[in-house]
Structure 1
Protein backbone atom coordinates (compact mmCIF):
# COMPACT_ATOMS: atom_id res chain seq x y z
CA UNK A 1 0.00 0.00 0.00
CA UNK A 2 1.32 3.43 -0.86
CA UNK A 3 1.73 6.05 1.83
CA UNK A 4 -0.89 8.81 2.04
CA UNK A 5 1.59 11.36 0.79
CA UNK A 6 1.60 9.67 -2.62
CA UNK A 7 -2.02 10.69 -3.34
CA UNK A 8 -2.09 13.41 -5.99
CA UNK A 9 -4.68 15.93 -4.89
CA UNK A 10 -5.06 17.80 -8.13
CA UNK A 11 -6.80 17.42 -11.42
CA UNK A 12 -10.12 18.44 -12.81
CA UNK A 13 -11.72 15.04 -12.22
CA UNK A 14 -10.88 14.81 -8.51
CA UNK A 15 -14.40 15.68 -7.35
CA UNK A 16 -15.89 13.43 -10.03
CA UNK A 17 -13.84 10.46 -8.79
CA UNK A 18 -14.80 11.12 -5.17
CA UNK A 19 -18.50 11.43 -5.92
CA UNK A 20 -18.52 8.20 -7.91
CA UNK A 21 -16.59 6.42 -5.18
CA UNK A 22 -18.93 7.75 -2.51
CA UNK A 23 -21.96 6.38 -4.36
CA UNK A 24 -20.41 2.93 -4.73
CA UNK A 25 -18.97 2.71 -1.21
CA UNK A 26 -22.25 3.78 0.36
CA UNK A 27 -24.14 1.25 -1.73
CA UNK A 28 -21.77 -1.73 -1.60
CA UNK A 29 -19.46 -1.11 1.37
CA UNK A 30 -15.66 -1.20 1.25
CA UNK A 31 -15.25 -4.90 0.54
CA UNK A 32 -18.08 -5.04 -1.98
CA UNK A 33 -16.96 -1.99 -3.96
CA UNK A 34 -14.87 -2.80 -7.03
CA UNK A 35 -12.60 -0.44 -8.90
CA UNK A 36 -14.52 -1.28 -12.07
CA UNK A 37 -17.79 -0.16 -10.45
CA UNK A 38 -16.19 3.04 -9.17
CA UNK A 39 -14.72 4.10 -12.51
CA UNK A 40 -18.02 3.28 -14.23
CA UNK A 41 -20.00 5.35 -11.71
CA UNK A 42 -17.50 8.22 -11.84
CA UNK A 43 -17.24 8.19 -15.63
CA UNK A 44 -13.45 8.14 -15.61
CA UNK A 45 -10.73 5.73 -16.67
CA UNK A 46 -8.81 3.46 -14.34
CA UNK A 47 -5.69 5.43 -15.21
CA UNK A 48 -7.34 8.63 -13.98
CA UNK A 49 -8.52 7.00 -10.75
CA UNK A 50 -5.10 5.48 -10.04
CA UNK A 51 -3.38 8.80 -10.75
CA UNK A 52 -5.22 10.18 -7.72
CA UNK A 53 -5.54 7.06 -5.59
CA UNK A 54 -3.08 4.20 -6.12
CA UNK A 55 -4.94 2.10 -3.54
CA UNK A 56 -8.66 1.52 -2.91
CA UNK A 57 -8.16 2.05 0.81
CA UNK A 58 -6.82 5.55 0.24
CA UNK A 59 -9.86 6.35 -1.90
CA UNK A 60 -12.20 4.98 0.76
CA UNK A 61 -10.46 6.99 3.48
CA UNK A 62 -10.78 10.18 1.42
CA UNK A 63 -14.50 9.52 0.98
CA UNK A 64 -14.79 8.75 4.69
CA UNK A 65 -12.97 11.95 5.65
CA UNK A 66 -15.31 13.95 3.45
CA UNK A 67 -18.35 12.23 4.95
CA UNK A 68 -17.05 12.69 8.49
CA UNK A 69 -16.38 16.39 7.87
CA UNK A 70 -19.87 16.88 6.45
CA UNK A 71 -21.40 15.19 9.51
CA UNK A 72 -19.21 17.24 11.83
CA UNK A 73 -20.06 20.53 10.11
CA UNK A 74 -23.79 19.78 10.36
CA UNK A 75 -23.50 18.81 14.02
CA UNK A 76 -21.46 21.90 14.87
CA UNK A 77 -23.99 24.19 13.20
CA UNK A 78 -26.89 22.61 15.09
CA UNK A 79 -25.21 22.35 18.47
CA UNK A 80 -23.53 25.74 18.57
CA UNK A 81 -26.83 27.36 17.63
CA UNK A 82 -28.68 25.74 20.53
CA UNK A 83 -29.10 27.41 23.87
CA UNK A 84 -30.44 24.32 25.62
CA UNK A 85 -27.68 22.09 26.94
CA UNK A 86 -29.64 18.85 27.13
CA UNK A 87 -31.11 19.35 23.66
CA UNK A 88 -27.69 20.12 22.17
CA UNK A 89 -26.08 17.09 23.82
CA UNK A 90 -28.91 14.87 22.59
CA UNK A 91 -28.38 16.15 19.05
CA UNK A 92 -24.63 15.59 19.32
CA UNK A 93 -25.10 12.10 20.75
CA UNK A 94 -27.56 11.15 18.02
CA UNK A 95 -25.15 12.13 15.26
CA UNK A 96 -22.19 10.45 16.95
CA UNK A 97 -23.92 7.16 17.71
CA UNK A 98 -25.35 6.86 14.21
CA UNK A 99 -22.02 7.67 12.57
CA UNK A 100 -20.11 5.28 14.83
CA UNK A 101 -22.55 2.48 13.91
CA UNK A 102 -22.83 3.27 10.20
CA UNK A 103 -21.10 1.09 7.62
CA UNK A 104 -18.76 3.96 6.78
CA UNK A 105 -18.01 4.67 10.43
CA UNK A 106 -17.17 1.06 11.26
CA UNK A 107 -15.20 0.40 8.09
CA UNK A 108 -13.07 3.49 8.47
CA UNK A 109 -12.45 2.67 12.15
CA UNK A 110 -11.15 -0.77 11.18
CA UNK A 111 -8.99 0.57 8.35
CA UNK A 112 -7.55 3.49 10.30
CA UNK A 113 -6.70 1.25 13.27
CA UNK A 114 -5.25 -1.38 10.96
CA UNK A 115 -3.09 0.96 8.90
CA UNK A 116 -2.10 3.74 11.33
CA UNK A 117 0.93 1.92 12.68
CA UNK A 118 2.46 1.68 9.21
CA UNK A 119 1.11 5.01 7.98
CA UNK A 120 0.50 7.38 10.92
CA UNK A 121 -0.60 10.11 8.51
CA UNK A 122 -3.80 8.16 7.84
CA UNK A 123 -4.82 8.41 11.47
CA UNK A 124 -3.79 12.06 11.77
CA UNK A 125 -5.67 13.10 8.63
CA UNK A 126 -8.85 11.27 9.58
CA UNK A 127 -8.77 12.57 13.17
CA UNK A 128 -8.36 16.15 11.93
CA UNK A 129 -11.23 15.75 9.43
CA UNK A 130 -13.90 15.04 12.03
CA UNK A 131 -13.14 13.85 15.57
CA UNK A 132 -10.84 16.80 16.28
CA UNK A 133 -13.44 19.24 14.93
CA UNK A 134 -16.15 17.73 17.12
CA UNK A 135 -13.86 17.76 20.16
CA UNK A 136 -13.03 21.44 19.63
CA UNK A 137 -16.73 22.23 19.18
CA UNK A 138 -17.63 20.38 22.38
CA UNK A 139 -14.95 22.26 24.30
CA UNK A 140 -16.32 25.59 23.05
CA UNK A 141 -19.89 24.57 23.81
CA UNK A 142 -19.10 23.23 27.28
CA UNK A 143 -17.00 26.28 28.17
CA UNK A 144 -19.92 28.50 27.20
CA UNK A 145 -22.36 26.40 29.22
CA UNK A 146 -20.07 26.59 32.25
CA UNK A 147 -19.69 30.37 31.91
CA UNK A 148 -23.49 30.68 31.73
CA UNK A 149 -23.91 28.57 34.87
CA UNK A 150 -25.65 25.71 33.02
CA UNK A 151 -22.93 23.12 33.70
CA UNK A 152 -20.30 22.69 36.37
CA UNK A 153 -17.11 21.17 34.95
CA UNK A 154 -13.58 21.44 36.34
CA UNK A 155 -11.84 19.78 33.38
CA UNK A 156 -13.69 20.72 30.20
CA UNK A 157 -11.19 19.01 27.88
CA UNK A 158 -11.66 15.72 29.73
CA UNK A 159 -15.45 16.09 29.63
CA UNK A 160 -15.26 16.69 25.86
CA UNK A 161 -13.33 13.44 25.51
CA UNK A 162 -15.70 11.53 27.78
CA UNK A 163 -18.90 12.36 25.93
CA UNK A 164 -18.09 10.59 22.63
CA UNK A 165 -16.99 7.52 24.60
CA UNK A 166 -20.36 7.43 26.36
CA UNK A 167 -21.91 7.41 22.89
CA UNK A 168 -20.04 4.18 22.08
CA UNK A 169 -21.33 2.26 25.09
CA UNK A 170 -22.00 -1.38 24.26
CA UNK A 171 -23.12 -1.24 20.67
CA UNK A 172 -19.99 0.12 18.97
CA UNK A 173 -17.60 -2.58 20.19
CA UNK A 174 -20.09 -5.36 19.43
CA UNK A 175 -20.57 -4.09 15.88
CA UNK A 176 -16.87 -3.49 15.19
CA UNK A 177 -15.97 -7.00 16.38
CA UNK A 178 -18.72 -8.54 14.29
CA UNK A 179 -20.62 -9.90 17.29
CA UNK A 180 -23.78 -8.60 15.65
CA UNK A 181 -24.67 -7.11 12.30
CA UNK A 182 -27.51 -4.73 13.12
CA UNK A 183 -28.95 -2.58 15.90
CA UNK A 184 -32.46 -1.27 16.39
CA UNK A 185 -33.56 2.34 16.72
CA UNK A 186 -34.66 1.51 20.27
CA UNK A 187 -31.13 0.40 21.14
CA UNK A 188 -29.65 3.53 19.57
CA UNK A 189 -32.08 5.74 21.51
CA UNK A 190 -31.14 3.89 24.70
CA UNK A 191 -27.45 4.70 24.18
CA UNK A 192 -28.21 8.34 23.30
CA UNK A 193 -30.43 8.83 26.35
CA UNK A 194 -27.96 7.05 28.60
CA UNK A 195 -25.03 9.14 27.40
CA UNK A 196 -26.87 12.41 28.00
CA UNK A 197 -28.24 11.31 31.38
CA UNK A 198 -24.83 10.13 32.59
CA UNK A 199 -23.15 13.33 31.42
CA UNK A 200 -25.79 15.57 32.96
CA UNK A 201 -25.81 13.66 36.24
CA UNK A 202 -22.07 14.32 36.54
CA UNK A 203 -21.87 17.87 35.24
CA UNK A 204 -25.37 19.29 35.38
CA UNK A 205 -26.21 22.10 37.78
CA UNK A 206 -28.94 21.22 40.28
CA UNK A 207 -31.96 23.51 39.97
Structure 2
Protein backbone atom coordinates (compact mmCIF):
# COMPACT_ATOMS: atom_id res chain seq x y z
CA UNK A 1 0.00 0.00 0.00
CA UNK A 2 1.17 3.54 -0.78
CA UNK A 3 0.92 5.78 2.29
CA UNK A 4 -0.35 9.35 2.33
CA UNK A 5 3.14 10.90 2.36
CA UNK A 6 4.21 8.93 -0.70
CA UNK A 7 0.99 9.90 -2.48
CA UNK A 8 1.72 13.58 -1.93
CA UNK A 9 5.11 13.31 -3.67
CA UNK A 10 3.72 11.59 -6.76
CA UNK A 11 2.92 13.42 -9.97
CA UNK A 12 -0.65 13.26 -11.22
CA UNK A 13 0.30 10.64 -13.84
CA UNK A 14 2.13 8.53 -11.26
CA UNK A 15 -0.76 8.77 -8.81
CA UNK A 16 -3.19 7.79 -11.57
CA UNK A 17 -1.07 4.73 -12.41
CA UNK A 18 -0.89 3.68 -8.75
CA UNK A 19 -4.67 3.97 -8.37
CA UNK A 20 -5.35 2.01 -11.57
CA UNK A 21 -2.91 -0.69 -10.50
CA UNK A 22 -4.64 -1.04 -7.14
CA UNK A 23 -8.08 -0.93 -8.75
CA UNK A 24 -7.14 -3.71 -11.16
CA UNK A 25 -6.08 -6.03 -8.35
CA UNK A 26 -9.29 -5.38 -6.38
CA UNK A 27 -11.62 -5.59 -9.39
CA UNK A 28 -10.03 -8.86 -10.54
CA UNK A 29 -10.31 -10.39 -7.08
CA UNK A 30 -13.82 -9.24 -6.17
CA UNK A 31 -15.57 -8.22 -9.37
CA UNK A 32 -17.04 -4.81 -10.10
CA UNK A 33 -20.15 -4.93 -7.89
CA UNK A 34 -18.28 -6.11 -4.78
CA UNK A 35 -15.45 -3.59 -5.12
CA UNK A 36 -15.63 -0.40 -3.08
CA UNK A 37 -13.66 2.81 -3.44
CA UNK A 38 -12.46 2.28 0.13
CA UNK A 39 -10.97 -1.09 -0.83
CA UNK A 40 -9.05 0.55 -3.67
CA UNK A 41 -7.76 3.27 -1.34
CA UNK A 42 -6.55 0.63 1.13
CA UNK A 43 -4.16 -0.60 -1.57
CA UNK A 44 -3.32 2.63 -3.36
CA UNK A 45 -3.19 5.09 -0.49
CA UNK A 46 -4.37 8.62 -1.10
CA UNK A 47 -7.96 9.67 -0.58
CA UNK A 48 -11.43 9.38 -2.04
CA UNK A 49 -10.97 12.89 -3.38
CA UNK A 50 -8.01 11.68 -5.49
CA UNK A 51 -10.21 9.03 -7.09
CA UNK A 52 -13.30 11.18 -7.54
CA UNK A 53 -11.29 14.08 -8.98
CA UNK A 54 -9.51 11.82 -11.46
CA UNK A 55 -12.17 9.24 -12.36
CA UNK A 56 -15.53 10.57 -11.15
CA UNK A 57 -16.80 7.36 -9.56
CA UNK A 58 -16.26 3.60 -9.45
CA UNK A 59 -17.63 3.12 -12.95
CA UNK A 60 -15.31 5.82 -14.28
CA UNK A 61 -12.43 4.05 -12.57
CA UNK A 62 -13.21 0.76 -14.32
CA UNK A 63 -13.71 2.47 -17.69
CA UNK A 64 -10.30 4.15 -17.28
CA UNK A 65 -8.78 0.76 -16.49
CA UNK A 66 -10.45 -0.77 -19.56
CA UNK A 67 -9.22 2.08 -21.75
CA UNK A 68 -5.62 1.95 -20.56
CA UNK A 69 -5.48 -1.85 -20.77
CA UNK A 70 -6.91 -1.75 -24.30
CA UNK A 71 -4.53 1.03 -25.36
CA UNK A 72 -1.52 -1.00 -24.21
CA UNK A 73 -2.82 -4.14 -25.91
CA UNK A 74 -3.57 -2.38 -29.20
CA UNK A 75 -0.32 -0.44 -29.28
CA UNK A 76 1.41 -3.56 -30.66
CA UNK A 77 -1.19 -3.82 -33.43
CA UNK A 78 -0.35 -0.56 -35.19
CA UNK A 79 -1.35 -1.18 -38.79
CA UNK A 80 1.50 0.76 -40.39
CA UNK A 81 4.02 -1.45 -38.60
CA UNK A 82 2.27 -4.63 -39.71
CA UNK A 83 1.68 -3.97 -43.41
CA UNK A 84 3.70 -6.30 -45.65
CA UNK A 85 3.25 -7.48 -49.25
CA UNK A 86 2.17 -10.88 -47.94
CA UNK A 87 -1.14 -11.28 -46.10
CA UNK A 88 -0.20 -14.57 -44.46
CA UNK A 89 2.90 -13.08 -42.82
CA UNK A 90 1.09 -9.88 -41.86
CA UNK A 91 -1.84 -11.77 -40.39
CA UNK A 92 0.43 -14.18 -38.54
CA UNK A 93 2.25 -11.30 -36.85
CA UNK A 94 -1.05 -9.58 -36.03
CA UNK A 95 -2.58 -12.78 -34.67
CA UNK A 96 0.44 -13.72 -32.55
CA UNK A 97 0.46 -10.32 -30.90
CA UNK A 98 -3.30 -10.31 -30.36
CA UNK A 99 -3.38 -13.87 -29.01
CA UNK A 100 -0.66 -12.98 -26.51
CA UNK A 101 -2.79 -10.06 -25.38
CA UNK A 102 -5.91 -12.22 -25.13
CA UNK A 103 -4.09 -14.54 -22.75
CA UNK A 104 -2.47 -11.83 -20.62
CA UNK A 105 -3.65 -11.52 -17.00
CA UNK A 106 -4.90 -7.91 -17.40
CA UNK A 107 -7.10 -8.69 -20.41
CA UNK A 108 -8.34 -11.97 -18.98
CA UNK A 109 -9.31 -10.06 -15.85
CA UNK A 110 -11.16 -7.41 -17.85
CA UNK A 111 -12.96 -10.06 -19.93
CA UNK A 112 -14.11 -11.84 -16.76
CA UNK A 113 -15.43 -8.66 -15.19
CA UNK A 114 -17.35 -7.67 -18.32
CA UNK A 115 -18.83 -11.15 -18.72
CA UNK A 116 -19.99 -11.11 -15.10
CA UNK A 117 -21.31 -7.55 -14.99
CA UNK A 118 -22.56 -6.75 -18.51
CA UNK A 119 -26.23 -7.47 -17.80
CA UNK A 120 -26.29 -5.12 -14.81
CA UNK A 121 -23.93 -2.52 -16.26
CA UNK A 122 -24.41 -2.53 -20.05
CA UNK A 123 -22.50 0.74 -20.38
CA UNK A 124 -19.36 -1.05 -19.18
CA UNK A 125 -19.79 -3.71 -21.87
CA UNK A 126 -20.24 -0.99 -24.48
CA UNK A 127 -17.12 0.86 -23.33
CA UNK A 128 -15.11 -2.37 -23.36
CA UNK A 129 -16.22 -3.29 -26.87
CA UNK A 130 -15.54 0.17 -28.26
CA UNK A 131 -12.11 0.45 -26.65
CA UNK A 132 -10.97 -3.12 -27.30
CA UNK A 133 -12.51 -5.62 -29.74
CA UNK A 134 -14.10 -2.92 -31.89
CA UNK A 135 -10.75 -1.24 -32.49
CA UNK A 136 -9.01 -4.56 -33.19
CA UNK A 137 -11.65 -5.36 -35.84
CA UNK A 138 -11.12 -1.97 -37.47
CA UNK A 139 -7.35 -2.45 -37.67
CA UNK A 140 -7.65 -5.96 -39.05
CA UNK A 141 -10.22 -4.85 -41.63
CA UNK A 142 -7.70 -2.29 -42.90
CA UNK A 143 -5.09 -5.01 -43.37
CA UNK A 144 -7.56 -7.20 -45.26
CA UNK A 145 -8.53 -4.30 -47.51
CA UNK A 146 -4.84 -3.73 -48.32
CA UNK A 147 -4.50 -7.38 -49.33
CA UNK A 148 -7.60 -7.14 -51.51
CA UNK A 149 -6.27 -4.01 -53.21
CA UNK A 150 -3.12 -5.98 -54.07
CA UNK A 151 -5.27 -8.71 -55.62
CA UNK A 152 -4.16 -11.22 -53.00
CA UNK A 153 -7.64 -11.98 -51.67
CA UNK A 154 -11.21 -11.51 -52.84
CA UNK A 155 -13.07 -8.28 -52.15
CA UNK A 156 -15.37 -9.13 -49.26
CA UNK A 157 -17.04 -7.35 -46.38
CA UNK A 158 -13.80 -6.67 -44.53
CA UNK A 159 -15.42 -5.91 -41.19
CA UNK A 160 -17.36 -9.18 -41.25
CA UNK A 161 -14.22 -11.07 -42.26
CA UNK A 162 -12.26 -9.42 -39.44
CA UNK A 163 -15.00 -10.34 -36.94
CA UNK A 164 -14.89 -13.94 -38.14
CA UNK A 165 -11.13 -14.15 -37.85
CA UNK A 166 -11.08 -12.81 -34.30
CA UNK A 167 -13.72 -15.38 -33.38
CA UNK A 168 -11.57 -18.09 -34.92
CA UNK A 169 -8.52 -16.83 -33.06
CA UNK A 170 -10.22 -16.89 -29.68
CA UNK A 171 -12.24 -20.05 -30.19
CA UNK A 172 -13.16 -22.27 -27.26
CA UNK A 173 -9.57 -22.04 -26.04
CA UNK A 174 -9.99 -18.48 -24.80
CA UNK A 175 -13.33 -19.35 -23.19
CA UNK A 176 -11.84 -22.35 -21.38
CA UNK A 177 -9.01 -20.20 -20.00
CA UNK A 178 -11.46 -17.49 -18.91
CA UNK A 179 -13.60 -20.06 -17.11
CA UNK A 180 -10.56 -21.50 -15.36
CA UNK A 181 -11.03 -24.89 -17.04
CA UNK A 182 -7.45 -24.96 -18.26
CA UNK A 183 -4.23 -22.93 -17.95
CA UNK A 184 -3.00 -20.39 -20.46
CA UNK A 185 -1.40 -22.30 -23.37
CA UNK A 186 2.36 -22.49 -23.44
CA UNK A 187 4.41 -21.00 -26.26
CA UNK A 188 4.35 -24.14 -28.43
CA UNK A 189 0.60 -24.65 -28.14
CA UNK A 190 -0.10 -20.97 -28.75
CA UNK A 191 2.08 -21.00 -31.88
CA UNK A 192 0.32 -24.08 -33.24
CA UNK A 193 -3.13 -22.64 -32.53
CA UNK A 194 -2.38 -19.26 -34.14
CA UNK A 195 -0.73 -20.75 -37.24
CA UNK A 196 -3.67 -23.08 -37.75
CA UNK A 197 -6.18 -20.22 -37.50
CA UNK A 198 -4.21 -17.99 -39.89
CA UNK A 199 -3.67 -20.77 -42.43
CA UNK A 200 -7.34 -21.74 -42.46
CA UNK A 201 -8.52 -18.14 -42.75
CA UNK A 202 -6.13 -17.04 -45.51
CA UNK A 203 -6.80 -20.19 -47.54
CA UNK A 204 -10.50 -19.40 -47.56
CA UNK A 205 -9.98 -15.86 -48.84
CA UNK A 206 -7.33 -16.35 -51.51
CA UNK A 207 -8.38 -15.44 -55.02
CA UNK A 208 -7.33 -18.78 -56.51
CA UNK A 209 -9.76 -20.59 -54.19
CA UNK A 210 -12.76 -18.89 -55.78
CA UNK A 211 -14.66 -20.21 -58.76
State TM-score, norm by structure 2: 0.76
Q: 1:121-160, aligned counterparts within 5 Å?
A: 121-160=123-162
Following superposition, which runs of at least 4 residues in structure 1 exceed 6 angstroms of deviation?
25-29
> Which of 13, 16, 36 is the matching residue for 1:15?
13
Secondary structure of the corresponding residue to residue 202 of structure 1: helix
How well do the aligned residues superpose, as a CA RMSD in angstroms? 2.9
Q: 1:7-156, aligned counterparts within 5 Å?
A: 15-24=13-22, 30-31=28-29, 35-36=40-41, 38-40=43-45, 44-51=46-53, 52=55, 54-55=57-58, 58-77=60-79, 80-156=82-158
State TM-score, norm by structure 1: 0.78
Q: CA deviation at 1:76?
A: 2.2
Q: CA deviation at 1:153?
A: 4.2
Q: From the superposition, tell whether residues 93 and 147 of structure 1 become closer, same or farther in structure 2 (CA, over 3 Å).
A: same
Aligned residues: 192
Instruction: Tell which deviates more after alignment, 22-31 or 142-151.
Output: 22-31
Corresponding residue number in structure 2 for 1:3: none
Q: CA deviation at 1:101?
A: 1.4
Q: CA deviation at 1:198?
A: 0.9
Q: Which runs of 5+ in 1 are unaligned?
A: 1-12
Secondary structure of the corresponding residue to residue 170 of structure 2: coil
Q: Which has the larger radius of gyration?
A: 2
Contact 1:78–1:88 at 8 Å: present in 2 too?
Answer: no
Q: CA deviation at 1:61?
A: 4.0
Corresponding residue number in structure 1 for 2:5: none
Contact 2:24–2:65 at 8 Å: present in 1 too?
Answer: no
